[in-house]
Chains A and B, each alone.
Chain A
Amino acid sequence: MMLVLLITVLMVGAVAAVVAGEWSRNAPRWIALIASSIGLLLVMVIWAKTSPHSVTDGQWLMDFRKAWIPSFGITFHLAIDGLSLLLLALTFFLGVLAVLCSWDEIRERTGFYYFNLLWILAGVAGVFMALDLFLFYFFWEVMLIPMYFLIGIWGSENRVYAAYKFFIFTQASGLLMFLAILGLYFIHGRDTGVYTFGYFELADTVIPFKTAFWLMSGFMIAFAVKLPVFPFHTWLPDAHGEAPTAGSLILAGLLLKTGAYGMLRFVVPLFPEVVTAVAVPAMVLGVAGIIYGAVMAYSQTDLKRLVAFTSVSHMGFVITGIFALNELALQGVVMQLVTHALSTGALFLMAGMIKERLHTRNIEQMGGLWGPMPQMGTIGLVFAMASLGLPGLGNFVAEFLILLGVFQAQAWITVAAATGLIFSAVYSLRIVGKIFLGPQKTREPVPDFSVREMLIMAALTVSVIWLGLFPQPVIDTAKPAITELVRFMDVHSTASHQQSYVK
């Protein structure tokens, strides 16, 4: 029931915000803050109550099941394991920060703004919990429209184009996934006589290899666009660049994570044979993404686009790690999901703060900002270092684990992926150099952090250092889910089928 509460609190908050927005400009902010804080609190309570690292019997911590559309075998089935719990915590943590960081930025139509913001969070939270494939697709789509509005209404100059591009890319790939879900549904129904969208039932479906390949491609394309995997990333720089600060934060911190989560939760367990077969090409794409993202990031002059391309690079590590299919790499992936959300989120927030002060995102027009803003400079340096993977900060643990795991699977791919660390050092230092060092280019007075901004950045900084020094809680929480996944792969790695089903 608590799982349902997590989603309802956001949805109720969203509706309350839009209603309150009719009378007051300030009320929606407080409502959104309260709703997302309650959510964060609930997740903490769940974490404390279930103590995920000590669970021994099975990986699922909580479960909620209710018939939804029984005529098609659709149930409203939510459940969480350690992986979901981590990502849920991340969702609500970033949710609170997103509400806080839009406090002054958004002055127009606050009611509708916070409605969209909370609605996206509800969709993301749903995605991390859904264990019915129809329900999963449902939540997958729920977050799209509000995100489209968020970019399209409150974005910067080129917002309409970016909003279209985001929506069409994700919707098109989502529909292909939906076709694959339907295919799975019918194959399972035909074989067993039980037509259901349930995750556990569908995971047991025996699918001929060729069919499985097409079905997996359907799932994979949706997740690859969302993650994004090179070459499906082209929507990302536009969407991230044009979105308002909170939009970029949620896009980078949460929406990209849904893609990785989808692969871990659905692609690998549903199609283990195919995943093994395509592992190497997928890892090569991942490495291509790492290097391409880094090179593109280096050549950007728009700060938000620059950070967006670093996301492409970091997500390359994620896909490489997932397809390495061993415990080390997968642990690294989970770490990477969390730490990337924090570090890139922080960089986007900083870009937003600089834009509020200088009214530009062009890094050529910045420079020497350390002088007037020493606090922001320090924090900026911390997150640039996090982004390049400095030991002691969370990202280092994540990328190191991934590289270790990948080395066990494909040594040469590791070599190529490791060069990404050098590239990331190059672009990260360029960020710091261009923005904070050198001669100061603007004459206007630039105020340093306000208390609210300080609070946001402090929360992120503490988290990223904590994860760098003491990552064990995260690793322990995700462990049951990861071990289950690896065990499952080992069972299936031998079986294979020949005949095809597609007409």
Chain B
Amino acid sequence: MSNSDFSALMPLMVLAGASVLVMLLIVARLSHRIIQLVSLLLFVIAFISLLNIRGMLPYQVGSLFMIDSFGAFMIGLIIISGLVVNVFSYIYFQEKEEGPKEYYVLLFLCTLGACVLAVSEHFVSVFLGLEILTIGLYALIAYLRTRSHGIEAGVKYLVLAAFSSAFLLFGMALVYLQTGTMSFAGMAHVITTASVPPMLLTGLGLMLVGLGFKLAVVPFHMWTADVYQGAPVPVTAFIATASKGGVVAAMLRFFVTIDGFRSEQLQMVLIVIAMASMVTGNLLALRQINIKRLLAYSSIAHLGYLLVAFIPGSEVVPQAVSFYLLTYFATTFAAFGVVTILSRAEEDAEELVHYKALFWKHPALAGILSVAMFSLAGIPLTAGFTGKFYVLTTGIGQGFWLLAVVLVLSSVVGLYYYLRVVTTMFAGTRDLLPEPPPRYPVFLGISMVVLSILTFALIWLGIYPDGVIGVVQGLQLK
């Protein structure tokens, strides 16, 4: 490994090193507060190291990693996600449990796994990244081990993730059998025919099953609602964003490199998955009275929207996907951030009735949650609208009218339940929720600052997205 290899991988190294460092700090019996702050610092360092490698992109590390601007953008997004989750975690876990310190080790590992996925250019690194991510998540989901929901969710995720990994592995094996190589670029050289051979198609199909589970698209979505509900709120936020983002990045890189879009069968399957996800996700969310479950189904629909940007396979796809992920991440964190802050030691603020009259009690939090809901619903002035606009232009630009129409109609259905959350917040004047404890004013302050930045970003991206669009348009996928 040369010096430049080393510095190109620096962000990943920092994340890996951070998990070890935090482990050492735990051995040194430092307090939760110190560990939390150190982790915060380490995330910042990881992000700075990412900024440092901007000049050397694109850079190939061995045959495993391809660090290009798209990959770097995704890593940046994932590291910031880790950072935001880290910020939200302190109050939440401090309330619930005495020693939540190992949590931070796992958080670093999961972030590392997602980052590895984002720059993988080889089956081995894809699988490695995916397993680092999911094994960390098993523990994170069931982290509050005294709660039955947590255990149920953890086991459910364990079984299904292992199951889907098996599918993925088998698919990879078939692809390897056909092409004789595991690097994406190598495959692109081997598959030169216009049509895709059946064996390869089977392999790709099986891989799609595996990836579909991780992305929670219909029909592989069964685990989503239970896991979202059972996991601690910050972890749910992480599953909804970073873990899916990493998988999307890997999938996009794979498809673009081998030009998987040329196979009409594969495209057909993706179209069906996208439409089913949009429709099912939105329909199932309609009757939810638990905000975590509601957001779970909403995320299914949103991954469907994302696929609309993915399927056309044109050169704007990486931009559209990156931009949509950016808006979706920001929105999801704003929503889960509010849920985290409102959660109490005994239970999470997950039942929708808890949000009654929030507008009059905590105007700031209610305002943030409303902006997040409007953004999820894709209403102008918010980032969600710009994201949806980008997705629609990508789809319609290649003539995928059916997808665009389904997207629009299903998001109309979606309006209903997003609005219900907002309506609940300004309905009634009864006081169901106790005041937030002033016990951790510093961390509450930090959380509120992060939430305000997210909200500001949501509105900024909705009103004046040109700067960010410029950045996204410069992204390249080698």
Residue of chain A at shortest CB distance from B381: A142
Q: With a CB–CB cut-off of 8 A, which chain A residues contact B405?
A: 179
| Contact yes or no, B466 A71, CB < 8 A | yes
Q: With a CB–CB cut-off of 8 A, which chain A residues contact B385?
A: 141
Q: Assess A168 versus B397: contact at CB under 8 Å? Given A71-B470, A160-B427.
A: no
Q: Does B374 contact A (CB under 8 A)?
A: yes
Interchain CA distance A425-B381 in the complex, whole Å: 44
Q: Does A114 contact B (CB under 8 A)?
A: no
Q: With a CB–CB cut-off of 8 A, which chain B residues contact A68?
A: 464, 466
Q: With a CB–CB cut-off of 8 A, which chain B residues contact A182?
A: 392-393, 396, 404
Q: Mark A381-396, 1 if CB is under 8 A from B, else 0.
A: 0000000000000000
Interchain CA distance A164-B464 in the complex, whole Å: 28
| Contact yes or no, A175 B408, CB < 8 A | yes
| Contact yes or no, B380 A69, CB < 8 A | no
Interchain CA distance A86-B412 in the complex, whole Å: 34
Q: Does A149 contact B (CB under 8 A)?
A: yes
Q: Does A473 contact B (CB under 8 A)?
A: no
Where chain B touches its partner, the secondary structure class is helix
Residue of chain A at shortest CB distance from B395: A182
Q: Assess A141 versus B412: contact at CB under 8 Å? Given A149-B426, A152-B423.
A: no
| Contact yes or no, B381 A72, CB < 8 A | no
Interchain CA distance A185-B393 in the complex, whole Å: 9
| Contact yes or no, B412 A172, CB < 8 A | yes
Residue of chain A at shortest CB distance from B396: A182
Q: Does A183 contact B (CB under 8 A)?
A: yes
| Contact yes or no, B469 A69, CB < 8 A | yes
Q: Does A153 contact B (CB under 8 A)?
A: yes
| Contact yes or no, A71 B473, CB < 8 A | yes
Docked complex: A134-155 residues within 8 A CB-CB of B: 137-138, 141-142, 144-145, 148-149, 152-153
| Contact yes or no, A137 B470, CB < 8 A | no
Q: With a CB–CB cut-off of 8 A, which chain B residues contact A172?
A: 409, 412, 415
Residue of chain B at shortest CB distance from A109: B360
Q: With a CB–CB cut-off of 8 A, which chain B residues contact A137?
A: 380
Q: Mark B455-473, 1 if CB is under 8 A from A, else 0.
A: 0000000001110011001
Interchain CA distance A148-B423 in the complex, whole Å: 10
Q: Does A167 contact B (CB under 8 A)?
A: yes
Say how far A21's CB is from chain B's closest CB, in angstroms. 10
Residue of chain A at shortest CB distance from B462: A138
Say how far B306's CB is from chain A's closest CB, in angstroms. 18
Q: With a CB–CB cut-off of 8 A, which chain B residues contact A451?
A: none
Q: With a CB–CB cut-off of 8 A, which chain A residues contact B396?
A: 179, 182-183, 186
Q: Does A503 contact B (CB under 8 A)?
A: yes
Q: With a CB–CB cut-off of 8 A, which chain B residues contact A148?
A: 419
Indicate which residue in A144, A152, A168 contacts B412 across the interface (CB closer than 8 Å).
A168
Docked complex: B109-123 residues within 8 A CB-CB of A: none
Q: With a CB–CB cut-off of 8 A, which chain B residues contact A153?
A: 426
| Contact yes or no, A142 B380, CB < 8 A | yes
Q: Does A231 contact B (CB under 8 A)?
A: no
Q: With a CB–CB cut-off of 8 A, which chain B residues contact A502?
A: 401
Q: Does A163 contact B (CB under 8 A)?
A: yes
| Contact yes or no, A175 B416, CB < 8 A | no
Q: Does B39 contact A (CB under 8 A)?
A: no
Interchain CA distance A152-B427 in the complex, whole Å: 9
Interchain CA distance A109-B429 in the complex, whole Å: 12
Say how far B23's CB is from chain A's closest CB, in angstroms. 45
- Among B374, B380, B397, B469, max chain A CB count under 10 A is at B380
Q: With a CB–CB cut-off of 8 A, which chain B residues contact A144?
A: 379
| Contact yes or no, A152 B411, CB < 8 A | no
| Contact yes or no, B381 A175, CB < 8 A | no
Q: With a CB–CB cut-off of 8 A, which chain B residues contact A72?
A: 393, 469
| Contact yes or no, B401 A503, CB < 8 A | yes
Q: With a CB–CB cut-off of 8 A, which chain A residues contact B441?
A: none
Residue of chain A at shortest CB distance from B405: A179
| Contact yes or no, A164 B419, CB < 8 A | yes
Say how far A122's CB is from chain B's closest CB, in angstroms. 11
Residue of chain A at shortest CB distance from B429: A108
Q: Does B399 contact A (CB under 8 A)?
A: yes
Say how far A58's CB is from chain B's closest CB, in angstroms. 30
Interchain CA distance A109-B360 in the complex, whole Å: 9
Q: With a CB–CB cut-off of 8 A, which chain B residues contact A261?
A: none
Interchain CA distance A172-B414 in the complex, whole Å: 11
Interchain CA distance A148-B370 in the complex, whole Å: 13
Q: Mark B396-434, 1 if CB is under 8 A from A, else 0.
A: 110111001100110110011001000100110000000
A-B contact pairs, 10 of them (CB 8 A): A72-B469, A138-B381, A141-B380, A144-B379, A160-B423, A168-B412, A171-B412, A182-B404, A503-B399, A503-B401
Beyond contacts A70-B466, A172-B409: 6 other A-B pairs, Cβ-Cβ < 8 A, are A72-B469, A109-B360, A138-B380, A167-B415, A168-B412, A179-B408
Question: Which of A's residues lie within 8 Å of B, judged by CB?
Answer: 68-72, 109, 137-138, 141-142, 144-145, 148-149, 152-153, 160, 163-164, 167-168, 171-172, 175-176, 178-179, 182-183, 185-186, 502-503
Q: What 3 A-B pairs come out closest when comparing CB atoms?
A: A141-B380, A172-B412, A503-B399
